[in-house]
């Protein structure tokens, strides 16, 4: 499988007044075609920032360093118009909060069709047929009715599927889904997961899935990256990590799941404006040693995965 | 629309009909000359003026000019205001500072004195009035449009439109602008009413187009040609009532829509 996306040493920070908020520090990963990478972490750990950085949706005041290469193109240096055209056509993006992602004034069919008309030379009738086909594949037995509806006439789960439909209708090579299940109830989450599984099965699409729902991550991910305070702390094969997490934070995260006893990690994640010296997780880590407080650990390979922890490396 | 709005709508429709097809309502052509200064009677319900024109016919034919000035000036001001407001709210940064600075400057300029000065230089005329009113009345709309755009631009559908690769122009025109209708419409109606009053005032002080029939011009002649001194109430009261009722109708529609303006796009 060839490499689709290659991110090297990506850092994003925001300067507001005298404070510098380092939202993402030194994140590197790559993504093959047809691979599903899940980024997991607490709120505010910088996972959405990575999605926005790839899609070029960061506000202008964001300071971005590092390299984002998509199909051998450096996304940072290509002109803005080219980048705008990539979005929606080659790079599909699904954001959280589906009900707000649709314009309340237009019908579903109209909104999905606009995407096709924007990027292709297709006629209205052809695009109408494409939308109907996409909705039918998503399990709407009568797309004609759904297409005439307005967003407020449909449920959150349906809207999220419409958003996914409009992001994937042109079969992008890369789909970035930023918390696609947040704000939905259990059965709606199920719909969305089913939808992703169908895409993974039927289409050749690399997916970056950003979530804090570990169950969703476990269902869909080929590879998983655990993030803490703007850094990747553990990254590797999803099944292996779920079976046996190495990093104390990953262990804590899994331990806090209801099925694993619901044991929370003590403390709260540090504010991103004041970076903790040493290992960023050490104030909350039960196994910290002197070296954890002093030295910042590097991401290193252990067995089959990357881990950022002094303890794991010394064992 | 509530009941007040419906009443306003009904009254305004009648005025619009008068403006479009005055011959249906008017008993005579307003330029036919009869005996001047006739009192109201069976032939002339509202009498005749100094030129011998039938005042009722004149009143009905005047609706066209008054409504035309009101709505064209309001459309001009609204378009300017919405475009400036959307650009300022969408791009933010120095563009916003510049546009809103200009808005603040325009906000300070008093409209009617400005129109009087410009009419004195350029000569009076309906288009001067419309252009000057339009050029100086967009500020309120620009400000409310901008503040709403600041809110809408952060909403999910604008972000997802960007995600889907739509251009800024498309997003401003097709995603944001339609969502401003419910807050801009009441302002638009009030602007139309205000433009009509301005037209009447300017015409009244003699800076209007004297060859044109409008309520303001009628009032102006009623005063200058002795209608008031002679107590000819049928000459000067009806145009006053027509302006008031028409402005009230427009304002009623505007207010009735304003009440619904809170509903709409949230966050």
Residue A7 has what pLDDT? 92
Which residues are paired to A10 by β-bridges? A27
Q: Return the pLDDT at A187.
A: 80
B165/A101 touch (CB, cutoff 8 Å), yes or no: no
DSSP class of residue A227 equals: E
Task: Tell whether the model's pLDDT for residue B118 goes beyond 50.
Answer: yes
Contact A95 B159 (CB under 8 A): yes
Q: Which residue would you say has higher pLDDT here, B106 or A61?
A: B106
For chain B, how long is the longest CA-to-CA vector? Answer: 73
Nearest to A57 among B93, B162, B179 (CB): B162
Q: Do A100 and B157 touch (CB under 8 A)?
A: yes
What confidence category does residue A199 fall into, taking pLDDT thresholds of 50, 70 and 90?
confident
Partners of A40 in beta bridges:
A211, A226
> Is residue A1 predicted with pLDDT exceeding 70?
no
Question: How many interface pairs between A and B have CB atoms less than 8 angstroms apart?
Answer: 69
**What would the mean pLDDT of B57-62 be, rounded to a whole number?**
92
Average pLDDT over residues A271-295: 86
The reply to whether A160 touches chain B by the CB within 8 Å rule is no
Q: Which residues contact B49 (CB under 8 A, 6 or more apart)?
A: B36, B37, B55, B58, B218, B221, B222, B225, B227, B235
The pLDDT, as a whole number, for residue B260 is 55
> What is the Rg, in whole angstroms, of the alpha carbon atoms belonging to chain B?
22
Q: Do the chains contact at B164 and A87, CB–CB below 8 Å?
A: yes
Set of chain A residues whose Cβ sits within 8 Å of the Cβ of B179: 103-105
Predicted pLDDT at A61:
83
For B176, name the nearest residue in chain A, comparing CA atoms only: A103
State chain B's mean pLDDT as an integer: 88
For residue range B232-260, list pLDDT tens digits in order: 888 889 999 999 999 999 999 988 887 65
Q: In the structure encoding, which two tokens stand for residue A290, read together?
A: 């002197």
* pLDDT tens profile B125-163: 888 889 988 999 999 999 999 999 999 988 888 888 888
**Separation CA A31–CA A210 (nearest Å):** 14
Contacts of B178 in chain A (CB under 8 A): 103, 105
- pLDDT band at residue A175 under the 50/70/90 scheme: very high
Q: Which of A222, A258, A243, A240 is nearest to A303 (CA)?
A: A240
Structural domains present in chain A = 3-105+150-314 (3.40.50.300)
Q: What is residue B170's predicted lDDT score, i.e. its pLDDT?
A: 92
Q: Which of A174, A140, A168 is nearest to A155 (CA)?
A: A140
Whole-number mean pLDDT of chain A?
A: 87
A306: distance to nearest CA of chain B, Å?
31
- CB within 8 Å: B159 and A101: yes
Q: What mean pLDDT do residues B87-103 have?
A: 93
pLDDT for the residue numbered B192:
94
Chain B partners within 8 Å of A55 (Cβ): 163
Tell me the ipTM for this assembly.
0.75
What pLDDT score does B263 carry? Answer: 47
Contacting residues of A for B161, CB less than 8 Å apart: 103
Q: Residue B266 has what pLDDT?
A: 40
- Rounded to 5 degrees, φ, ψ at B94 are -70, -30
**Among A38-42, A160-164, A248-252, B250-254, which is the least confidently predicted range?**
A160-164
- Rounded mean pLDDT, A179-201: 83
For range B19-44, the mean pLDDT: 86
The structural domains of chain B, ordered by start, are 3-16+52-266 (1.10.3720.10)
């Amino acid at each position: 499988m060839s490499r689709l996306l290659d991110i090297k040493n990506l850092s994003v920070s925001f300067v507001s007044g005298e404070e510098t908020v380092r939202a993402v520090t030194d994140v590197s990963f790559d993504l093959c075609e047809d691979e599903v990478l899940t980024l997991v972490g607490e709120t505010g750990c910088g996972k959405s920032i990575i999605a926005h950085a790839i899609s070029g949706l960061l506000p202008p005041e964001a300071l971005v360093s590092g390299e984002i290469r998509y199909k051998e193109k450096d996304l940072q240096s290509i002109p803005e118009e080219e980048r705008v055209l990539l979005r929606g056509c080659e790079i599909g993006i699904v954001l959280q909060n589906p009900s707000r992602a649709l314009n309340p004034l237009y019908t579903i069919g109209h909104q999905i069709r606009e995407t096709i008309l924007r990027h292709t030379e297709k006629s209205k009738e052809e695009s109408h047929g494409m939308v109907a086909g996409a909705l039918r594949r998503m399990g709407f037995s009568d797309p004609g009715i759904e297409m005439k509806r307005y967003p407020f006439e449909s449920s959150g789960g349906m809207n999220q599927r419409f958003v996914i439909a409009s992001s994937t209708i042109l079969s992008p090579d890369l789909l970035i889904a930023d918390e696609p299940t947040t704000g939905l109830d259990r059965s709606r989450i199920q719909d969305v997961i089913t939808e992703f599984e169908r895409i993974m099965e039927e289409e050749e699409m690399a997916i970056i899935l950003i979530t804090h729902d570990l169950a969703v991550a476990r269902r869909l991910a080929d590879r998983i990256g655990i993030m803490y305070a703007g850094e990747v702390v553990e990254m590797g094969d999803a099944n292996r990590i779920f079976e046996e997490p190495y990093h104390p934070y990953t262990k804590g995260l899994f331990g806090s799941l209801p099925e694993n006893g619901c044991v929370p990690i003590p403390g709260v994640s540090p504010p991103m404006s004041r970076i903790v010296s040493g290992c960023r997780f050490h104030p909350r880590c039960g196994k910290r040693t002197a070296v954890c407080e002093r030295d910042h650990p590097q991401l290193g390979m252990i067995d089959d995965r990357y881990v950022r922890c002094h303890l794991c490396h010394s064992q | 629309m509530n009941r007040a709005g419906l009443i306003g709508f009904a009254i305004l429709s009648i005025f619009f009909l008068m403006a479009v097809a005055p011959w249906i309502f008017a008993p005579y052509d307003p330029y036919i000359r009869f005996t001047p200064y006739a009192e109201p009677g069976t032939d002339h319900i509202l009498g005749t003026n100094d030129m011998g024109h039938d005042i009722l016919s004149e009143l009905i034919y005047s609706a066209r000019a008054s409504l035309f000035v009101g709505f064209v000036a309001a459309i001009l001001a609204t378009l300017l205001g919405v475009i400036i407001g959307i650009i300022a709210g969408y791009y933010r940064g120095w563009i916003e500072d510049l546009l809103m600075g200009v808005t603040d400057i325009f906000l300070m300029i008093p409209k009617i004195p400005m129109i009087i000065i410009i009419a004195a230089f350029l000569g009076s005329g309906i288009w001067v009035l419309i252009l000057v009113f339009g050029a100086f009345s967009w500020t309120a709309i620009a400000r409310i449009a901008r503040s709403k755009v600041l809110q809408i631009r952060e909403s999910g559908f604008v972000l997802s439109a960007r995600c889907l690769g739509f251009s800024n122009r498309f997003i401003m025109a097709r995603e944001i602008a339609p969502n401003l209708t419910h807050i801009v419409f009441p302002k638009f109606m009030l602007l139309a009413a205000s433009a009509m009053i301005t037209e009447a005032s300017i015409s009244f002080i003699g800076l209007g187009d004297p060859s044109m029939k409008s309520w303001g011009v009628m009032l102006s002649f009623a005063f200058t040609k002795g209608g008031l001194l002679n107590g000819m109430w049928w000459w000067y009261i009806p145009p006053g009532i027509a302006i008031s009722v028409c402005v009230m109708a427009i304002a009623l529609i505007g207010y009735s829509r304003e009440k619904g303006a809170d509903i709409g796009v949230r966050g």
